[in-house]
Amino acid sequence: MIATILLSVILSADSSVAPAPADSANARAAVVDSTRANAAASIPVVVTLPEVRVERERVLSEARRRLPTAFVTDLSAGTSNRALETVSDVLAQAAGVHVDQYGGLGAYSTVSLRGAPPGQVSVYLDGAPLTSAAHGVVNLADLPAGAIERVEIYRGLSPLALGPATPGGAINLVTASVARIREARVIAGSYGTWEGRASAGGARGNLSGFLHGGIQTTRGDFDHLSDNGTPFNLNDDFVAPRQNNRFDAATALGTLRWRARHDLSAMLREDFFRKAQGLPGMGSVPALNSRLSFLRSITQMEIARDAGRATPETKLSVSLERQRSQFRDNGGPYGLGELRLGPHDSDDRFGSEHLTLEALTPQLPLGASLSGSASAGLDRADLVDPGDGYPDPPQSRRVLTGASLTADWRPMGEWLTLHAAKRWDRIEDHLRSTGVAGLAVTSDATRELDSPQLGVRVIAPYGTEVRANWSRAVRPPDFLELFGNQGSVTGNPKLKPETGENRDFGASWSHTLGVHADATIEWAHFESDASDLILYWTNSPNTTHADNVTSARIRGEELSVRLRPWAPLALAGAFTWQSAIDEGPFKAWHGKRLPQRPGRQAWTRADLTRGGARLSAEIQYIGDNYLDRYNRYRVTSRTLAGASLSAPFLAGTRGVVEAKNLGDNRISDVGGFPLPGRSVFVSMEWRLGPAGSARP
């Protein structure tokens, strides 16, 4: 269309030129005018220009650029038309992802990728590791949902420059850092839920900054169906409000960027998170006084230099993390605490420092590129618990050093990519715990780990892409598994790392159906063999003990679909079929399904946008699963439906009304920990950017 307009303008401009006064000139002009008239008459209404090929690499997300052969899901947060959005809501949109929730807003929740245990999934915040020796499993409720801009999900392979590879893959949460934007949002809803957050950014010369702050609170007193502690007797079930379920959280994020020159930049970021909440435990017999407070600070510094003609692209990153966790549960009968974990009045402090240096070479001959990284880190744990009756142990430490090397080769341009990488890690544990009769126990161990990767990516005709990968990764045991918590968990310093070997292959197809219509479909088959899995055994009436006791085989299929049949309508879906079977030596478990791994899971969404208003509908299906390895306690399949409507008001103002769990299903995602029924949330957003308009 643009080419047609330009051609018409040129022709009209030529035809308006005045003829020369000479007779010969007039004759020549007449011939020229006749020729032009005939040419103009033969020009079609639409001019078809030669094909312009755009290499697919240009449209890859930042996550896909890191691992071009891997199956990566890159999700934007804050664009789903929800009034209240959590990290769990964002993750549920991806195939191969399962979230276990132990209650409503603010309650403990974990994530599993492709059937791997939550402890085998590494979680990062802007590249800084949240998974550490002190916290082998990351609580999704401890993540600042309001400050997150997008989520990178690496299923199978994970970028080795981020840190030690784990068998389950990795999740990287990227916080907002948009300059020249001002935004504020207020949310109110069921069960006394309130949220307020504001963001602002600006730039002056080579300096730019971004600030974000938010608060969130809820009473969490939703009605739930209690089984009265007798799950096999339905006659004594009753409906009761959730007690001691209040949740309060605050988030603050600040980013400062400085470009010293065209090829050198520096960044400083501070992320602060604080929460306080009640811990009601299971729904049948709630704990009324148990409390938990958590405080985390992550400081990140980064210096980056762009590649030159003969110099590689380099980046130096430093992260400093401090955590404080206070847990109180010293009531209950027989002095065991209301949660039956023993009496506790803990004030634990954790710290970590990590340094990473990355280098990426410019394009080498024959389409090759090399990248490498070197890292060093220190994790510490200081445990204080006067309520458990044991002496507090000295500080425990974990020292980490690692290096990685990645080679990508494109012998045929973007049509073929070959990926090979390996990471080496050395882990030194210096554990200090309290043993029998309060005696100090010292355990020092050194482990050396290696994690190789291989991958291939082929771009075929008609928008088709084929990928295949193989990797092996290990997860070292965390502090809780190694030395316990001086209360209900006793340590086992002889634990071996868990090992997982992953394989996947699949294809994707992407096609533009028209000016405003497109379709993207991705399918992947995955397989995983895990060994030396760590489980907890009951070794006394009040304590448990971790040990390497089993292995597992996981197989599955993933399907992701994104369709826009016409401009106002967008459809999306993510489907997962998987089989997670215990392959360990114990006959009672062998051949049984691994607990909390549903065999079927689906998520679908439809969005209709007209005149600035947007109507959305969402359905999530989770298949049945078991809560124990004997497969006796079964959770039935459940379907949750939700809907939302948003519309602009004044300039830069937008309102959203959302209803969750429209069917008012009284369910428990993890047995005994109920989820909220039907709930309604309303939000009002004010957004001023370069265009001064609200975000759709």
pLDDT at 56: 34
pLDDT score, position 288: 87
Distance CA 250, CA 262 (A): 37
pLDDT at 13: 37
- CA atoms lying within 13 Å on the CB side of residue 40: 15
pLDDT for 179 equals 66
Dist. CA 556–CA 594, nearest whole Å = 14
Q: Whose CA is closest to 617, among 644, 640, 654? A: 644
Contact yes or no for 510/518 (Cβ under 8 A): yes
pLDDT < 70 regions, the chain: 1-60, 179-180, 228-234, 236, 333-335, 435-439, 483-491, 537-544, 671, 689-696
pLDDT of residue 228: 66
Residue 62 DSSP SS3: helix
CB of 378 closer than 8 Å to CB of 397: yes
List CB contacts of 229: < 8 A, sequence separation 6 or more.
284, 285
Helix axis angle for 23-42 and 2-15, nearest 10°, is 160
Distance, C-alpha 404 to centroid of its chain: 23
- Looking up tokens 């975000």 gives 695
Widest pairwise Cα distance in the chain: 120
List, in sequence order, every beta strand (DSSP E) within 165-290.
170-175, 182-189, 193-204, 207-218, 223-226, 238-241, 247-261, 264-278
Q: What is the dihedral of CA 129, 573, 579, 523, to 10 degrees?
A: -90
Report the C-alpha gap between 280 and 641 in whole angstroms.
26
Residue 545: which region, alpha, beta or left (left: phi > 0; alpha: psi -120 to 50)? beta
Q: What is the pLDDT of residue 37?
A: 45
Q: Please report the pLDDT score of residue 435 as a whole number.
A: 65
pLDDT of residue 552: 92
Alpha carbons within 13 angstroms on the beta-carbon side of residue 525 total: 3
In 3-state terms the chain splits into helix, strand, coil percentages (rounded to 5) of: 10, 55, 35
Q: What is the pTM of this model?
A: 0.85
Answer yes or no: are the C-beta atoms of 240 and 216 closer than 8 Å: no
- Judged on CB neighbours under 10 Å (0-12, 13-18, 19+), 22 is exposed
Are 423 and 400 within 8 A, CB to CB? no
What's residue 276's pLDDT?
A: 95
- pLDDT at residue number 485: 58
End-to-end Cα, the chain, rounded Å: 28
User: Is-contact 75 83, C-beta < 8 A?
Assistant: no
pLDDT of residue 1: 39
pLDDT at residue 229 in the model:
66
